């Protein structure tokens, strides 16, 4: 795992660990001045009472989380939130994870396999250091393919390149689940639409309360406005307006920069 950009926190949250299902997320606030940050769970251990959060450090809140050590506390944690992934036995399923999207993809992949599906997993990252959960994904699937954009590990290329090959070879894939950066999900769905295979994605808009009371996370799916926090986070990937989602995700770029500069200036 990349030393400074991808972070893995194991948090003691017994009640959430007990109740969480694949695909769900939590919201946390590190301290009193912190914002509410939604993060998908990359796995839970109900017996130990812990949940796993794996994320990329992209701004002040995630940078602050990276400074947490074993024994530190997170002031507020709320969950499990969102609708759980709908798991059923349907036959052949392909689970595609990009970057830190693999974190939430892991419990979902495991669940599809445990439900009796034949699961192929494709995980990709920009470079070897950003790949996560390779061993776990191997154990959670019947067939694992790994890609890196720069060819430093596995197949040199995008997850969509490998997916296209598989879809050319196998005509009986029933469902594809794709989770990763928005452009990845957008192009993945463009591809799977060509092949006519149902595709579910997990969206990651900005959120505030994450319980459906503010509308910050609104996304357009099939021409209708949905709240990602309660109607999602998973939606039919062929129906999502990805361009709108990207624009809305960029709404606070200026403020994010200010926060990060202040954080760095404070010597953290």
Partner 1 sequence: MPEQEPKVRARNFDEVPFGYTPELAQLESSRCLQCKKPKCMEGCPVEIDIPAFVKLISEGDYKSAALKLKERNALPAVCGRVCPQEDQCEKLCIVGKKDQPVAVGRLERFAADWERTKGEVTLPEKAPATGKKVAVVGSGPAGLTVAGDLILKGHDVTIFEALHKPGGVLIYGIPEFRLPKAIVQSEVNYLERLGVKVECNCVIGRIDTVDELLREYHAVFLGLGAGLPQFLNIPGENYCGIYSANEYLTRSNLMKAYLFPKYDTPIARGKNVAVFGAGNVAMDSARTALRLGADTVRIIYRRSRDEMPARIEEVHHAEEEGVQFYLLTAPVRFLGDDNGWVTGVECLRMELGEPDESGRRRPVPIKGSEFQLECDMAVVAIGAGPNPLLPTQTPGLELNKRGYIVADLETGKSTKPKTWAGGDIVTGSATVILAMGAGRKAANSIHEYLTS
Q: Is 214 in the site for partner 1 (CB under 8 A)?
A: yes
- Strand-strand pairing, 173-179 and 224-227: unpaired
- Strand-strand pairing, 143-148 and 155-156: parallel
For residue 11, the number of C-alpha atoms closer than 13 Å in the C-beta half-sphere is: 31
Q: Is 68 in the site for partner 1 (CB under 8 A)?
A: no
Q: Is 225 in the site for partner 1 (CB under 8 A)?
A: yes
Q: Is 17 in the site for partner 1 (CB under 8 A)?
A: no
- Reference 206, options 261, 251, 236; nearest CA is 251
Q: Is 76 in the site for partner 1 (CB under 8 A)?
A: yes
> Bridge-partner residues for 10, per DSSP?
52
8, 138, 174, 248: which one binds partner 1 (CB under 8 A)? 248
Beta carbon of residue 128, minimum distance to partner 1 (angstroms, whole number): 32
Determine contact, residues 125/149, Cβ cutoff 8 Å.
yes
Q: Is 221 in the site for partner 1 (CB under 8 A)?
A: no
Q: Is 216 in the site for partner 1 (CB under 8 A)?
A: yes
Q: What are phi and psi of 147, to 5 degrees?
A: -130, 150
53, 60, 87, 242: which one binds partner 1 (CB under 8 A)? 60
* CB closer to partner 1 out of 16 and 176: 16
What is the spatial distance between Cα 197 and Cα 18, in angstroms, rounded to a whole number? Answer: 33
Q: Is 139 in the site for partner 1 (CB under 8 A)?
A: no
* CB closer to partner 1 out of 1 and 258: 258
Interacting stretch for partner 1, rule CB under 8 A, among 42-50, 75-83, 158-166, 190-198? Answer: 75-83
2, 8, 35, 195: which one binds partner 1 (CB under 8 A)? 35
Q: Is 268 in the site for partner 1 (CB under 8 A)?
A: no
Interacting stretch for partner 1, rule CB under 8 A, among 47-55, 156-164, 179-187, 212-220? Answer: 212-220
10-15 long-range contacts (CB < 8 A, ≥24 apart) are: 10/50, 10/51, 10/52, 10/53, 11/50, 11/51, 11/52, 11/53, 11/74, 11/77, 12/49, 12/50, 13/49, 13/50, 13/51, 13/77, 13/79, 14/49, 14/50
Query: Could you give the C-alpha distances from 115 to 43, 61, 87, 90, in angstroms and in order?
Result: 17, 36, 7, 9
Q: What are phi and psi of 157, to 5 degrees?
A: 155, -165
Interacting stretch for partner 1, rule CB under 8 A, among 26-34, 128-136, 151-159, 187-195? Answer: 26-34
* CB closer to partner 1 out of 150 and 243: 243
Summarize as ranges the residues that interact with partner 1 (CB under 8 A): 15-16, 19, 29, 33-36, 60-61, 75-81, 208-209, 211-216, 218, 220, 225, 230, 244, 247-248, 250-252, 255-256, 258-259, 262
């Amino acid at each position: 795992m990349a030393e400074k950009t991808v972070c893995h926190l194991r948090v003691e949250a017994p009640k959430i660990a007990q109740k969480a299902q694949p695909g769900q997320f939590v919201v946390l606030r590190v301290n009193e001045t912190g914002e509410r940050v939604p993060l998908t769970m990359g796995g839970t251990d109900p017996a130990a009472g812990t949940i796993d959060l794996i994320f990329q450090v992209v701004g002040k809140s995630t940078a602050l989380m990276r400074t947490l050590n074993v024994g530190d506390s997170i002031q507020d944690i709320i969950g499990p939130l969102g609708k759980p992934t709908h798991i059923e036995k349907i036959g052949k399923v392909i689970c595609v994870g990009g970057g830190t999207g693999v974190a939430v993809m892991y419990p979902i992949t495991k669940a599809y396999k445990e439900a009796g599906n034949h699961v192929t997993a494709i995980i990709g990252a920009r470079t070897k250091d950003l790949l996560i959960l390779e061993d776990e994904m191997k154990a959670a699937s019947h067939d694992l393919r790994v890609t890196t954009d720069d060819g430093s590990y596995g197949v040199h290329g995008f997850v969509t390149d490998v997916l296209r090959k598989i879809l050319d070879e196998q005509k009986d894939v029933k469902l594809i689940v794709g989770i990763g950066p928005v452009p990845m999900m957008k192009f993945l769905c463009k591809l799977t639409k060509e092949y006519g295979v149902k595709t579910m994605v997990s969206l990651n808009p900005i959120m505030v309360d994450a319980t459906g009371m503010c509308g910050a996370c609104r996304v357009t799916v099939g021409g209708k406005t949905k709240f990602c926090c309660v109607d999602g986070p998973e939606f039919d990937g062929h129906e999502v307006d990805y361009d709108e989602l990207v624009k809305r995700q960029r709404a606070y770029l200026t403020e994010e920069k200010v926060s990060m500069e202040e954080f760095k200036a404070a010597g953290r």
